[in-house]
Amino acid sequence: MLPGQAKMGRRTPLYEQHCAAGGRMVEFGGWDLPVGYGSQIEEHHAVRRDAGVFDVSHMCVVDLRGPATQALLARLLANDVGRLTAPGKALYSCMLREDGGVLDDLIAFRLDPDWFRLVVNAATAEKDLEWIGSHAALAGVTVTARRELALLAVQGPKARAKTLPLLPTDCMAAAAELRPFFGQPGGDWFVSRTGYTGEDGFEVALPAAEAPAFWTALVAAGVRPCGLGARDTLRLEAGMNLYGQDMDESVTPLESGLAWTVVLDDARDFIGKAALIEQRHVGPRRRLAGLVLQERGVLRSHQRVVAADGGEGAVTSGTFAPTLERSIGLARFPVATDGMVQVEIRGRLLPARVVKPPFVRNGRILVEF
């Protein structure tokens, strides 16, 4: 009945710190990472109410440099990097196949006109690098995977205040001034006001050798170490998709609650655009939306969703939401499905309410249940 023993994966620069802190290590996207250090629910609340730190060094920082970088990303990304007119500004985007299927979702920062920085998912990093590289070569853009960098996410209402004094002096002042969804390099470090929890905070990329001391200083400053378990409940409450679970190459952004990240009405010719225009024209058959379970139980991925009109779909992500103290999920079903649906859990149909994510932002519950 227990989860399988961890396979040996790659280790981040903080592996020793995780083990010393009692982290329960599991394999995730080819890496050994802590699922939690004790109570995942307490870790979740620490981020909603105070501050927590996640080791996300498995994610891959990719630098693209050269005069044609912006033109390359205008072709590779469904969101428009032309909107990044201010230095350091970031956007969230999908990278698509020709048929509109989602290759990955990522954050792109414009650091200067010839230098963009991407942060991509761990499990898709090799595929992404191959895809980006094949297009970059023609454009004369250099692509560098910054594997030597560790990446920490410090999240929560008190995360910035607790992190700022611990940053190197050459990035402290700029970090203090960062607006949401901006990032700024300082020496070998890079600080951005981004995250995957629905709370304020920083993500800090830094040389691997400096990561253990920074981690230890954060913990000493009262920032709670948090694992993958809390990361999943926090992102799901925040209504954020997980690649490989809520979307993949078999679905488009329009079927994944990500129409807001796609710019179709401009002259840009990005890969997948024609397929999305066609899909928008005929109307997507399916959509991704939130569910709040009305009874005791827990929504899990792959559970069957049945609408009142007989339409069917499936839960893509589900969990117990500590802030709402009930189960929530994301599910894909016919576009007409709304209101109350039923979810099949171990042979029984339980009612769930369809809602528009996010469920929680900045500590506040935003959905009716």
Partner 1 sequence: MSEIPAELRYTKSHEWVRALPDGSLMVGITDHAQGALGDLVFVEVPEAGRQLSAGDACAVVESVKAASDIYAPLGGEVLAGNDSLATQPELVNQDPYGQGWILRLRPDADPDSALLMDAAAYGEFVAAGH
Instruction: Return the structure tokens found at 252.
Output: 């488009």
Q: Which is nearer to partner 1, 3 or 339 (CB)?
A: 3
- Please state the closest distance from residue 3 (CB atom) to partner 1, in A: 6
Q: Note whether 297 binds partner 1 by CB under 8 A.
A: yes
Give the per-residue contact string, 320-349, with partner 1 (x = CB under 8 A; - = no). x-x----x------------------x---
Asked if residue 341 lies in contact with residue 310, where contact means CB atoms within 8 angstroms, the answer is no
Q: Which is nearer to partner 1, 24 or 286 (CB)?
A: 24
Q: Note whether 2 binds partner 1 by CB under 8 A.
A: yes
Q: Note whether 39 binds partner 1 by CB under 8 A.
A: yes
Q: Which is nearer to partner 1, 59 or 299 (CB)?
A: 299
- Please state the closest distance from residue 40 (CB atom) to partner 1, in A: 5
- Please state the closest distance from residue 39 (CB atom) to partner 1, in A: 5
- Please state the closest distance from residue 38 (CB atom) to partner 1, in A: 9
3-state secondary structure (DSSP) of residue 147: coil
Q: How far apart are CA 142 and CA 132, in angstroms?
A: 10
Asked if residue 355 lies in contact with residue 291, where contact means CB atoms within 8 angstroms, the answer is yes
Q: What is the 3-state secondary structure (H, E, C) of 335-360?
A: CCCCCEEEEEECCEEEEEEEECCCCE
Q: Which is nearer to partner 1, 84 or 350 (CB)?
A: 350
98 burial type by CB count under 10 A (0-12 exposed, 13-18 middle, 19+ buried): exposed
Instruction: Return the structure tokens found at 299.
Output: 């929504």
Q: Note whether 40 binds partner 1 by CB under 8 A.
A: yes
- Please state the closest distance from residue 320 (CB atom) to partner 1, in A: 4
Q: Find the binder of partner 1 among 65, 300, 304, 361 (CB under 8 A).
A: 300
Q: Which is nearer to partner 1, 89 or 300 (CB)?
A: 300
Q: Note whether 134 binds partner 1 by CB under 8 A.
A: no
Q: Which stretch binds partner 1 (CB under 8 A): 52-60, 112-120, 209-217, 225-233?
A: 225-233
Q: Which stretch binds partner 1 (CB under 8 A): 39-47, 161-169, 204-212, 334-342?
A: 39-47
Asked if residue 77 lies in contact with residue 264, where contact means CB atoms within 8 angstroms, the answer is no
Q: Note whether 290 binds partner 1 by CB under 8 A.
A: no
Q: Which residues lie below 8 Å from residue 110, measured CB to CB, with a gap of 6+? A: 70, 81, 84, 86, 87, 88, 89, 90, 116
Q: Which is nearer to partner 1, 35 or 60 (CB)?
A: 35
Q: Cα torsion for 88, 204, 224, 293, to the nearest 10°?
A: 50
- Please state the closest distance from residue 240 (CB atom) to partner 1, in A: 17
Q: Note whether 32 binds partner 1 by CB under 8 A.
A: no
Q: Note whether 7 binds partner 1 by CB under 8 A.
A: no
Q: Note whether 302 binds partner 1 by CB under 8 A.
A: no
Q: Note whether 316 binds partner 1 by CB under 8 A.
A: no
Instruction: Return the structure tokens found at 21.
Output: 């802190």
Instruction: Return the structure tokens found at 26.
Output: 């599991």
Q: Note whether 34 binds partner 1 by CB under 8 A.
A: no
Q: Measured on CA atoms in the order 254, 256, 259, 261, is the torsion positive or negative?
A: negative
- Please state the closest distance from residue 55 (CB atom) to partner 1, in A: 18
DSSP assignment, residue 178?
Answer: P
Q: Note whether 296 binds partner 1 by CB under 8 A.
A: yes
CA distances from 125 to 28, 131, 273, 285 (A): 13, 10, 23, 30
Q: How many Cβ atoms from other residues are within 10 Å of residue 366's Cβ?
A: 16
- Please state the closest distance from residue 67 (CB atom) to partner 1, in A: 47
Q: How far apart are CA 289 and CA 331, in angstroms?
A: 6
Amino acid identity, residue 361? Answer: R
DSSP string computed for 66-112: STTHHHHHHHHBSS-GGG--STTBEEEEEEE-TTS-EEEEEEEEEEE
> In the chain, what is the straight-line distance between the N-terminal and C-terminal CA atoms, in Å?
32
Binding site for partner 1 (CB under 8 A): 1-3, 5, 24, 35-36, 39-41, 229, 232-233, 296-298, 300, 319-320, 322, 327, 346
